[in-house]
Structure 1
């Protein structure tokens, strides 16, 4: 159960990000400033945390035996680029499409992850996962507020970017639980985040460091985005996903949406309709179904 809570906590952290991004945009910052400061500060915080943790823990033959090889480092960094790509694609899509439509596109990862697990492991998803996905998708559409938006003009650039963010997020959840599992979670997360940091710095050179933006309110938003988007989720996913599997982790990650909706209501004072609250409730039910199903089966055995 504790590993499920780790994944849920990571998903809740991701749910806070859209509010912080909106706040940063309203302060006049560009997507390159937001993504770049998030990557830089997240990279710095996680490596500091890793070094402090290594100094406080006593070294042992077992811990040294699980030090990563250079091949594992490169693989972990490659996996880490998926988090950077998710931020780049998703934050960029918000420049072309509405937030409600973008969140629907991002949350296609719920069925993508289960499909990927079925294809790779060559096993059909259980009835509980299929039922969960149906309820989740219904809840996601309702909670996003898209149903209240009327007719919209579809931007194919924004739609493509939104779907790409779903694909890269699916790969992050999948590979974070299957790569170099014997390495300590905090060290794995730091190495993966290094890959994300390198990618983001190549795509968005850190001009914000030299033009003074980082010394303004960007520092606050960058810190919040880094902590809740680049430190907590990769670390908690590295702990929880190997224990519960990619399929269930994908479903639990949908907890991001109810968090985002509630944050928009309480922090941004945005109106949330009864349909959206019903969608939040449906999403929570969809997340809980696999665990409830498992407990019911245990009772009847």
Structure 2
């Protein structure tokens, strides 16, 4: 199959993203916090991508104009807030519940495009949203909130994370379309690091956790949680298309649940598994429908 390797690239990138919440929650037990973890991840990812950018310029990677830099930095700020808020949420709720609620970005993005760009969602998309919400209630075990790690503070953090993720996706699809993926990714991660630092400057400057262990953790998060997935998506998505890629990237949900079970010993009931399947099918169906619409308009 000609596109098999690109499909595997996108799947691998999504799977790597899916592991992050469990490992971050594990690192909390070592005394670290969301601000320093998300900042170090973004900063090192920006450094790694920046070094790669400098080494790649001789192969034709184009520079950015001043008009392109600011929108990309702002776009990076939204993904920076997404990671920080998401990491913050798992200090209050389970990693499996956090990833389920994060997936609400799929219909948040529809609302944003409707409200900002007047792209009214069709009936199939609205029906999909209903199934996503049903799947969320089942997958999050919200019928039995007393049996799970439930916190309104944690729910608020991850809902805000889901909203900023939707903003990032909408912005990323419209900003820097003609920019090579490498300088674009470098600017986005630079904006991410700057935003996290601005929001959490007091916490980041006050902590004294820097050590050999923390350096290893920061490199792990930057490489596995940001740099490699960014490169895999950049190489794979253009080859197989945004529609198919969006479907493949839903692998983040089951991987996050499986990882939470293995790493954190979080239990998943049969009802939750059915809810996850409903969400995966609904999200895949919505992305497939959107890809068909895009093909017809091209």
TM range (shorter): 0.7 to 0.9
Paired with 2:43 and 2:260, the residues of 1 have a C-alpha distance of: 26
Structure-to-structure mapping, 1:1-301, within 5 angstroms: 9-55=12-58, 57=59, 59=60, 64=62, 67-99=63-95, 101-150=97-146, 156-205=152-201, 206-207=204-205, 211=208, 213-216=210-213, 218-235=214-231, 240=237, 254-290=250-286
Contact kept? 1:84, 1:199, Cα under 8 Å: yes
SS class of match (1:182): coil
Q: Distance in 1 between matches of 2:289 and 2:197?
A: 44
Give the number of aligned pairs: 288
Shift of the 32–290 alpha-carbon distance from structure 1 to 2, 3 Å rule, reads: closer
Instruction: Give the whole-Å Cα distance in 2 for the aligned partners of 1:276 and 1:33.
Output: 32
Per the alignment, do residues 94 and 271 of structure 1 end up closer, same or farther by CA in structure 2, a change over 3 Å counting?
Answer: closer
Segment of structure 1 superposing worse, 85-94 or 224-233: 224-233
Structure 1: any 5+ residue segments left out of the alignment? none
Q: Deviations over 1:133-159 (max 9, x none)?
A: 333333333233444442789755444
Structure 2 residue runs of 5 or longer lacking an equivalent are: none
| SS of corresponding position for 1:203 | helix
Distance in 1, Cα, partners of 2:288 & 2:88: 37
Distance 1:32 1:233 in 2: 21
Counterparts of 2:166 and 2:239 in 1: how far apart (Å)? 15
* C-alpha contact (below 8 Å) 2:101/2:159 kept by paired residues: yes
